[in-house]
C-alpha cells in the first residue's frame, strides 16, 4: 500500500517550487534560491532575488517612499496568495503570516503560524 502522506522535506520542496512558480508567473520575477523550513506549527521562508526589475529601476530614483509603498502593496498581494498556497500544500489552516522584503538586499522573509502541525510521513531525518 502506498503512503500518500508527504515527508516534511517533500512538503518544503513542494512549497518552494510553488512559491517560485508564483513569483515567475504572477510577478514576472525570476527569484533565486527559496528556502522553506517547517518547525512544528511554524514555517520560515526566505526568497532570494525577490525584487522585481521595475522596483530596481524605481529604487534608483529620488522617491524612495514611493518604491517602499509599492513593495508593501506587492507584499500584501503576495501574502494573500501565499496563505492560500500554504494551506493547499501543507493541508493546515494558516493563523497568521508576516512578510517583509528588503529592497537593499533583495530578499523576502516570510514567517507563518499554522493552526496545528502538518501531518508528515516519518523519515530517518524526523
User: DSSP per residue over 68-98, as a string?
Assistant: HHHHHHHHHHHHHHHHHHHHHHH-S-EEEEE
Q: Which of 126 and 85 is assigned the larger pLDDT?
A: 85
**pLDDT for 126 beyond 90:** no
pLDDT in tens, 10-53: 999 999 999 999 999 998 889 999 999 999 999 999 999 999 88
Residue 60: the pLDDT is 79
Q: Where does residue 110 rank: exposed (0-12), middle (13-18), buried (19+ CB within 10 A)? A: buried
Please tell me the distance from the alpha carbon of residue 17 to that of residue 23, in angstroms, as a whole number.
10
pLDDT at 3: 66
Q: How confident is the prediction for the chain on average, in pLDDT?
A: 90
Give the pLDDT mean for 85-102.
95
Mean pLDDT on 91-117: 94
The reported pTM is 0.87
pLDDT of 110 strictly over 70: yes
Report domain extents, the chain.
8-114
Give yes or no for residue 1 having a pLDDT over 50. no
Amino acid at each position: 500500500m502506498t503512503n500518500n502522506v508527504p515527508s516534511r522535506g517533500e512538503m518544503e520542496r513542494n512549497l518552494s517550487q510553488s512559491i517560485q512558480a508564483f513569483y515567475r508567473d504572477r510577478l514576472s520575477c525570476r527569484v533565486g534560491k527559496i528556502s522553506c523550513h517547517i518547525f512544528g506549527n511554524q514555517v520560515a521562508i526566505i526568497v532570494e532575488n525577490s525584487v522585481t526589475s521595475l522596483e530596481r529601476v524605481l529604487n534608483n530614483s529620488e522617491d524612495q517612499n514611493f518604491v517602499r509603498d509599492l513593495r508593501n502593496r506587492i507584499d500584501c498581494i503576495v501574502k494573500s496568495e501565499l496563505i492560500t498556497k500554504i494551506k493547499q500544500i501543507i493541508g493546515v489552516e494558516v493563523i497568521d503570516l508576516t512578510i517583509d522584503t528588503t529592497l537593499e538586499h533583495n530578499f523576502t522573509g516570510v514567517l507563518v503560524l499554522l493552526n496545528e502541525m502538518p501531518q508528515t510521513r516519518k523519515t530517518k531525518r524526523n
